[in-house]
């Protein structure tokens, strides 16, 4: 009888997330969720999602599909991600019911210190160039994920990406626009121009792009594993490039790097449990936002109403001020996670919110320059294993540097350090910087959702809005991704950006309260693009959703072909 009651509860939760027949005739969301009894892959390129779905059809684990999709993304959206960047992931193991977190963010070279930079008259962390380059973590992240969960060989997982790198693919809408905006940056580095300006200009919409150097790099990794990148030929090319530009990267910085398995941190929000990766990532800010928001009746206020938006915006300011003050590499500075996520602390912070007035002076330091070039993908396989994976170069094409013959940009993630020696996030050798990219996961009873939304400092506040859309307003995962959002990338002041789908009357009321709103279009890239997959374990049905703010799609695993 107890099992029956639990099953009924799960069905009721699922029903609450889907529209009734009458509502579907007049709904706000533009497309339906993808549903399947087999696996689903959601990525911001249909080719990447399809590659992952094909891997699932070959018997691959959700992790195999995630690696396959990520490798394709590194080819088709090279400005946003690639094996020159970092990776974070949350994996749900259906057999044990356990969540695993992976922090595969790279550290600064041992010799890259505050003293080194100040000795060269550099007073702020460089946003581009060799001194912004940290050790890329993505390939080691792939290795750790596949070693623990993978069912196929790495050569199988990388095969789709190698095929497209050698034979080409048509460049998509969002990607072509970003590519064109970065021509000047790419011209500044001979290798970058050779790789990404094949006809002396950015590749245009619908043109076929090939990257044989990246194909060769993928083949090396497929044959030799992670050592090809950290100890072998690719490592030698990275080191030679660093030396040519006067960088500090040494062989040991690459060879001794290892990503880390971590325990996801979490909070509860009106009966749901929401998980993020612990610091050095910003995900704790999403959890703090939710803790503060839980003290307000957002569901009663109405979706994107004046009261609901004001509460979330003010909660964002408080949570981000704490995040910027405390978050750093915990091997160097312990972050008071338990204290920051205490419900009593959230209630005290919530008391600082004036229900009638915007706070323009929340205590916060000057934040690092925001980067917004990131990809996120999520996978659920037929067994219910799930992956929430995010990967990034930080800025467009990272540091703007490509090692000879490698076909991928080196990240500029080091730009997020500070040169203030007293701050927890101060630059130091072998230290990881404060990180913007964050995968997420949420669950209640038998429903589990792997989700993420990209875009620099937008990410935590977008996560909180997504969770609120589902929990407070009963949206399904596609509607929750599509819903109009706000973002505030700065940490001080009352500046704010909103999509113009938020009602005019609401915006005017918020402006009277002191919010200074800059209006954006219907589905603006400024607000990040997201993906999500969901598993209803009672029904054994998988769902996928993809944000129209990107070029992507949720693609179901093909039926078995006997």
Q: Catalytic residue among 267, 374, 418, 487, which?
A: 374
Q: Which of 227, 284, 287, 234 has its CA nearest to residue 257?
A: 227
Strands (E) across 4-145 are located at 34-36, 40-43, 86-93, 98-104
3-state secondary structure of 388: strand
Neighbouring residues of 20: CB distance < 8 A, sequence distance ≥ 6: none
Helix, strand, coil content of the chain in percent (nearest 5): 40, 20, 45
- In this structure, what token pair is assigned to residue 533? 């997959």
Neighbouring residues of 257: CB distance < 8 A, sequence distance ≥ 6: 106, 107, 135, 137, 140, 230
Q: Calculate Rg over the CA atoms of the chain.
A: 22
Q: Which of 526, 535, 414, 398 has its CA nearest to residue 62?
A: 535
How many whole angstroms separate alpha carbon 152 and alpha carbon 115? 46
Do 374 and 391 meet the contact criterion of CB atoms below 8 Å apart? yes
Beta bridge partner(s), residue 376? 390
Catalytic status, residue 374: yes
Beta bridge partner(s), residue 260? 103
Residues carrying an active site annotation? 374
């Amino acid at each position: 009888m107890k099992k029956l009651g639990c099953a009924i509860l799960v069905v009721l939760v699922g029903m609450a997330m889907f529209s009734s027949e009458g509502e579907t005739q007049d709904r706000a969301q533009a497309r339906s969720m993808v549903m399947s009894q087999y696996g689903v892959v959601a990525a911001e390129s249909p080719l990447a999602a399809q590659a992952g779905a094909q891997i699932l059809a070959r018997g691959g684990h959700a992790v195999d599909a995630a690696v396959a999709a990520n490798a394709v993304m590194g080819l088709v959206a090279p400005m946003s991600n690639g094996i020159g960047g970092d990776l974070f992931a949350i994996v749900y193991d259906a057999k044990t019911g356990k969540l695993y977190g992976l922090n595969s963010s790279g550290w600064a070279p041992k010799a890259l210190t505050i003293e080194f930079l100040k000795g060269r008259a550099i007073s702020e962390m460089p946003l581009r160039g060799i001194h912004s380059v940290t050790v890329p973590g993505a390939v080691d992240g792939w290795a750790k994920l596949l070693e623990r969960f993978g069912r196929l060989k790495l050569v199988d997982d990388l095969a789709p990406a190698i095929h497209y790198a050698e034979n080409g693919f048509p460049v998509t809408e969002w990607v072509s626009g970003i590519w064109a905006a970065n021509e000047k940056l790419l011209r500044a580095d001979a290798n970058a121009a050779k790789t990404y300006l094949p006809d002396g200009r950015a590749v245009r919409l619908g043109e076929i792009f090939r990257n044989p150097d990246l194909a060769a790099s993928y083949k090396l990794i497929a044959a030799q594993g992670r050592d090809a990148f950290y100890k072998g030929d690719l490592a030698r090319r990275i080191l030679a490039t660093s030396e040519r530009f006067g960088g500090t990267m040494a062989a040991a910085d690459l060879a001794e790097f290892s990503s880390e398995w971590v325990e996801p941190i979490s909070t509860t929000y009106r009966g749901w449990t929401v998980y993020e990766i612990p610091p050095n990532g910003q995900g704790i800010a999403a959890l703090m936002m939710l803790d503060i928001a839980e003290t307000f009746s957002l569901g009663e206020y109405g979706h994107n109403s004046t009261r609901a938006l004001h509460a979330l915006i003010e909660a964002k300011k408080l949570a981000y001020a704490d995040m910027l003050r405390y978050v750093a590499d915990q091997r160097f500075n312990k972050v008071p996670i338990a204290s920051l996520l205490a419900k009593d602390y959230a209630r005290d912070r919530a008391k600082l919110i004036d229900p009638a007035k915007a706070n323009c002076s929340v205590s916060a330091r000057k934040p690092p320059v925001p980067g917004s070039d990131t990809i996120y993908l999520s996978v659920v396989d037929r067994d219910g294993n799930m992956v929430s994976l995010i990967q990034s170069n930080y800025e467009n094409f990272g540091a703007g540097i490509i090692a000879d013959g490698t076909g991928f940009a080196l990240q500029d993630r080091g730009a997020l350090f500070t040169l203030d020696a007293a701050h927890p996030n101060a630059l130091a050798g072998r230290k990881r910087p404060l990180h913007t990219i964050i995968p997420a996961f949420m669950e209640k009873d038998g429903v589990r959702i792997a989700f993420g939304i990209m875009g620099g400092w937008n990410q935590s506040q977008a996560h909180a809005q997504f969770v609120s859309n589902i929990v407070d307003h009963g949206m399904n995962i596609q509607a929750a991704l599509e819903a109009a959002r706000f973002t505030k990338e700065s940490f001080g002041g009352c500046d704010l950006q909103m999509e113009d789908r938020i009602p005019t009357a609401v915006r005017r009321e918020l402006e009277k309260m002191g919010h200074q709103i800059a209006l954006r279009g219907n589905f603006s890239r400024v607000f990040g693009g997201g993906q999500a997959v969901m598993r209803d374990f009672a029904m054994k049905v998988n769902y996928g959703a993809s944000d129209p703010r990107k070029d992507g799609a949720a693609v179901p695993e093909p039926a078995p072909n006997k």
